[in-house]
C-alpha cells in the first residue's frame, strides 16, 4: 500500500471511542486468534448452559404430582454412558481449546526468534518505573547504547506490518505492559528481562496501559502507541536519531540505561 492509502486506512479506523460490549478494536495481525478463542469459549459455555438448563426444565415440568419421579441408582451401563458423554464433552471442548491455545502461543505470541528474523522487524527496550514507561530504540548500528539511540517517555511508535519485539525491565515494582488493541500483555519484573512481540495491522493511536496495580499513581501510568505507515515511521526514526545524536552526553550515565539485547 502507498503512504496515502495507509493514511486513509488509519483515518477510517482510529482513533475513535470503543463501543458496545465487545472487545477493544483489534489492530494487530494475530489478535484475531485471541478473539476466536474467547468467542469459541463463550459459545461452548452457552451451549452447555442451555443444555443443562433445558434438562433441568424438562425434569421440573415433566415430574409433577401426576408423574412422580422414579429414583434409582442407575445401571452400570447407564453410569458409564453418562460419564463417557461428560468426558467426551470435556475432551472435545477443553481439549481443543487447550491444543489450539498452545499452538497459537508458540507459533505467534512466543515466536521471538522468528519475529526478530523477519526483515524490518523493530526491536525496542522498555524500562517501567513508578509511573511511566521509558522507551528506547536502537541507533542505526542496532545497539541500544549508541549515541543515536532514541529515548521516549510514554510514547511508543511502531511501523505497521512488521513484528515489534519488546524487551521489558522494571527498576522498582512489578508493572505490566498492556496493549489491549494488540491482545498482548507482559509483566515487567525487577531483576529480569521479559519480552513480548506483536505486529500492528492498522495505523492509528492506541492505549498503552499498566495492568498491575503498582502504587498510588498506577492510574497515571498510561502511554500511547502510535502505529505508523512504514515510510512515516522511517522518517520519524531518522529525525529522532539525529536529535538524539545532537543531545548525546557521554558523561550522563543515568541516560545510558539500555542493555545489550538478549538473544531469544
Ligand atoms: Cu505500573
3-state class of 21 per DSSP?
Answer: coil
Grid cell of 232 as nine digits: 512515516
**Rounded distance, CA 245 to CA 252, Å?**
13
Sequence-separated (6 or more) residues with CB below 8 Å from residue 152:
134, 135, 137, 240
What integer pLDDT is reported at residue 17 of this predicted model? Answer: 54
User: 179 alpha carbon to ligand 1 midpoint, in Å?
Assistant: 13
Give the whole-angstrom CA distance, residue 36 versus residue 39.
Answer: 5
Cα 72 to ligand 1 centre (Å): 58
User: Residue 215 Cα, ligand 1 centroid: separation in angstroms?
Assistant: 7
Cell numbers 470503543 correspond to what residue? Answer: 18
**pLDDT for res 184:** 96
pLDDT for 84 equals 97
Question: Could you tell me the distance, in angstroms and rounded to a whole number, from the CA of residue 66 to the centre of ligand 1?
Answer: 64
Q: What is the pLDDT of residue 85?
A: 94
Q: Spell out, as residue ranges, where the chain has pLDDT lower than 70.
A: 1, 10-22
Distance from residue 207's CA to the centre of ligand 1 (Å):
14
Q: Is the Cβ–Cβ distance between 109 and 163 less than 8 Å?
A: no
- Taking only Cα atoms into account, the Rg of the chain, rounded to an integer number of angstroms, comes to 25
Going from the Cα of 210 to the center of ligand 1, the distance in angstroms, rounded, reads 5
SS3 214: coil
C-alpha distances (whole Å) from 43 to each of 40, 47, 92, 219 are 5, 6, 13, 34
Identify the pLDDT of residue 56. Answer: 94
- CB atoms within 5 A of ion ligand 1 belong to 175, 210, 214, 221
Q: How far apart are the CA of 225 and the centre of ligand 1, in A? A: 16
Separation of CA 133 and ligand 1 centre (Å): 9
Give me ligand 1 centre to Cα 175, in Å: 4
Q: What integer pLDDT is reported at residue 1 of this predicted model?
A: 60
| CA–centroid distance, residue 118 to ligand 1 (Å) | 30
Structure-block grid coordinates of residue 63: 415430574
Centre of ligand 1 from the C-alpha of residue 218, in Å: 5
pLDDT number for residue 117: 95
Report which DSSP code applies to 106.
I
Cα-to-centroid distance, 140 and ligand 1 (Å): 30
Amino acid at each position: 500500500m502507498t503512504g496515502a492509502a495507509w493514511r486513509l486506512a488509519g483515518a477510517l479506523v482510529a482513533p475513535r471511542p470503543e463501543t458496545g460490549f465487545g472487545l477493544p478494536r483489534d489492530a494487530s495481525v494475530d489478535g484475531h486468534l485471541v478473539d476466536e478463542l474467547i468467542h469459541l469459549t463463550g459459545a461452548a459455555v452457552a451451549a452447555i448452559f442451555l443444555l443443562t438448563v433445558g434438562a433441568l426444565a424438562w425434569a421440573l415440568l415433566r415430574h409433577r404430582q401426576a408423574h412422580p419421579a422414579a429414583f434409582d441408582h442407575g445401571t452400570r451401563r447407564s453410569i458409564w454412558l453418562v460419564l463417557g458423554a461428560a468426558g467426551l464433552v470435556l475432551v472435545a471442548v477443553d481439549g481443543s481449546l487447550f491444543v489450539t491455545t498452545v499452538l497459537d502461543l508458540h507459533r505467534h505470541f512466543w515466536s521471538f526468534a522468528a519475529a526478530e528474523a523477519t526483515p524490518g522487524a523493530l526491536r525496542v527496550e522498555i524500562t517501567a518505573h513508578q509511573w511511566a514507561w521509558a522507551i528506547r530504540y536502537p541507533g542505526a548500528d542496532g545497539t541500544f547504547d549508541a549515541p543515536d539511540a532514541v529515548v521516549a517517555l510514554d510514547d511508543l511508535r511502531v511501523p505497521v506490518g512488521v513484528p515489534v519485539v519488546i524487551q521489558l525491565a522494571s527498576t522498582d515494582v512489578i508493572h505490566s505492559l498492556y496493549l489491549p488493541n494488540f491482545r498482548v500483555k507482559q509483566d515487567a519484573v525487577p531483576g529480569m528481562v521479559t519480552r513480548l512481540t506483536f505486529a500492528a495491522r492498522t495505523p492509528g493511536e492506541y492505549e498503552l496501559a499498566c495492568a498491575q496495580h503498582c502504587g498510588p499513581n498506577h492510574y497515571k501510568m498510561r502511554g500511547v502507541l502510535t502505529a505508523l505507515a512504514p515510510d512515516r515511521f522511517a522518517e520519524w526514526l531518522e529525525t529522532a536519531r539525529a536529535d538524539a545524536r545532537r543531545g548525546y552526553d557521554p558523561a550522563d550515565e543515568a541516560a545510558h540505561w539500555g542493555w545489550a539485547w538478549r538473544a531469544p
